[in-house]
Amino acid sequence: MIPARSWANPHSPELRLGATCQRVWMASKFHKRVEHVVWLTRHHWRTRMTYCRTLDWFCSIYSDLILLVRGVRWPGRRVVRTVYSPFLDGPTFLRVGTSDWGMFEQLLCDGEYAPLFEHNPSGIRVILDLGANIGLSVRLWQRAFPGSTITAVEPDPENLAAARRNGGSAVHFIQAGAGAQAGKFFLDQVGSECSYKVRETPADSNAISVDVLTVPQILETANIKGDVDFLKCDIEGSEIALFKNCASWIKRVRNLAVELHPPYTSEEFLSDLQGAGSELAEYGRVDRGQYKVLFLERSNENGSPNPQSN
For residue range 80-126, list pLDDT tens digits in order: 999 999 999 999 999 999 999 999 999 998 889 999 999 999 999 99
Boundaries of domain holding 250: 111-310
Confidence of residue 206 (pLDDT cuts 50, 70, 90): confident
Could you read off the pLDDT of 247-293 as tens digits, one per residue?
Answer: 999 999 999 999 999 999 999 999 999 999 999 999 999 998 888 99
Residues present in the chain in total: 310
Structural domains in the chain (count): 2
Domain closes at, from 110, 126, 154: 110
Q: Are 94 and 100 in contact (CB under 8 A)?
A: yes
Question: Does some domain include residue 3?
Answer: no
Helix (H) or strand (E) holding 99: none
3-state secondary structure of 181: coil
pLDDT for 198: 73
Based on the number of CB atoms within 10 Å of its own CB, is 54 exposed (0-12), middle (13-18) or buried (19 or more)? exposed
pLDDT for 193: 60
Q: Are 171 and 204 in contact (CB under 8 A)?
A: no
Mean pLDDT of the chain: 87
Q: Under 8 Å CB-to-CB from 86, ≥6 apart: which residues?
A: 49, 52
- pTM of the complete model: 0.84
Q: How far apart are CA 33 and CA 201, in angstroms?
A: 33
Q: Minimum mean pLDDT among 129-133, 150-154, 162-166, 206-210: which range?
A: 206-210
Greater model confidence, 154 or 110: 154
Strand-strand pairing, 208-213 and 149-153: unpaired
Q: Say if residue 80 is in the same domain as residue 179.
A: no
Q: Say if residue 122 is in the same domain as residue 103.
A: no
Domain closes at, from 76, 110, 144: 110
Residue 310 has pLDDT above 90, yes or no: no
